[in-house]
Homo-oligomer: A and B are copies of this chain.
């Protein structure tokens, strides 16, 4: 993937970063819709063509989620005696706990941007459909059942659905940690109410 050796690769990485930084800065100050790709390109000192070479759409500058793979990895590493929901709570705590305050603040700013812009929110939710499939597979592996098992799908959907519901209703300009707390409480509620796989 990313060689990092060679001037070419380093330059590419720098351009990628420059575009992303310029874009997020402009989004923050002007708003998402009010910012054109042309402005981003100019601020990052590249041509509009180059913008689209690095990001297939304007949305992608914001959407890309670095935490997702970390969560999956952490989930897979949780001890087998934990229930699926307990394992999820533990991995959330582990991944977010490992973030620096700066990273956490940036992540939540990104979340607010996504929740606030319909275009981005829709795109994010669609991406979560993919996340759902991955989660269903991880669950299936954990309990030794096929991933297309109805109970596995329903359980995965229920857990993810509850999480999204909390995300959509809690993260709107709230304190940084509110979402985390409510997410955990919602998961505890599902667990306590007897939802099992």
Which A residues are closer than 8 A to B by beta carbons?
A: 118, 121-123, 125-126, 128-129, 132-133, 136, 148, 150-151, 153-166, 168-169, 182, 185-186, 189-190, 193-196
Nearest CB of chain B from residue A6's CB, rounded to whole Å: 34
Contact partners of A160 in chain B: CB under 8 A:
161, 165
Q: List 10 interface pairs A-B (beta carbons < 8 Å), by A numbering.
A: A121-B129, A125-B128, A125-B129, A154-B189, A157-B164, A157-B165, A157-B186, A158-B162, A158-B165, A161-B164
Give Cα distance in the complex from A150 to B169, angstroms: 10
A154 to B, closest residue via Cβ: B186
Task: Choose one: B129, B148, B157, B194; the contact of A195 (CB below 8 Å).
Answer: B194
Nearest CB of chain B from residue A53's CB, rounded to whole Å: 21
Contact partners of A118 in chain B: CB under 8 A:
126
A122-B126, A150-B189, A157-B166 known; 7 other A-B pairs, CB under 8 Å? A118-B126, A132-B168, A150-B166, A153-B169, A161-B164, A161-B165, A190-B195
Contact A157 B150 (CB under 8 A): no
Give Cα distance in the complex from A150 to B166, angstroms: 8
Give Cα distance in the complex from A184 to B56, angstroms: 39
Contact A154 B150 (CB under 8 A): no
Contact A150 B186 (CB under 8 A): yes
Contact partners of A189 in chain B: CB under 8 A:
150-151, 154-155
Contact partners of A166 in chain B: CB under 8 A:
150, 153-154, 157
Task: Choose one: B153, B193, B196; the contact of A196 (CB below 8 Å).
Answer: B193
Nearest CB of chain B from residue A161's CB, rounded to whole Å: 1
